[in-house]
Amino acid sequence: MIRAAIVSAVVLGLAAPVGAAGVKKDRVDLLVSLICKNGGSMETSKAAEILPKHGFTMQETQSIVAELEKRGQVQATAGMATLKLKKSACS
């Protein structure tokens, strides 16, 4: 159940309000790093496998994705089934 919630947060988090107040930089950096290590994108099934291991909650993930969207570093693809970082985010 928690896996599905976190996956939804990653993929659907793009619709969350922009303005990730309270998001810690190290957590943003960790999520970006995990996605970069996964080839720069993350499908829902992979997010369900990886993110809980690193303690990401749905609320935190939504805030981080909103911040990444605000920065123009992320986009959802394949019917919002995949979160993809722009190349500059992984360099």
Lowest mean pLDDT, pick from 4-8, 34-38, 57-61, 62-66: 4-8
The conformation of residue 17, written as its DSSP 8-state character, comes to: P
Tally the domains of the chain: 1
Global pTM reads 0.72
What does each C-alpha distance from 77 to 25, 26, 27, 73 come to in angstroms?
Answer: 25, 25, 23, 13
10 and 47 in contact (C-beta within 8 Å)? Answer: yes
Query: Could you list the residue range(s) of the whole structural domain that residue 73 is in?
Result: 2-90
Question: Which CATH number characterizes residue 86's domain?
Answer: 1.10.10
For the ranges 15-24, 36-45, 77-86, the one whose mean pLDDT is highest: 36-45
Q: What is the mean pLDDT of residues 20-44?
A: 88
Report residue 15's pLDDT band, with 50, 70 and 90 as the boundaries: very low
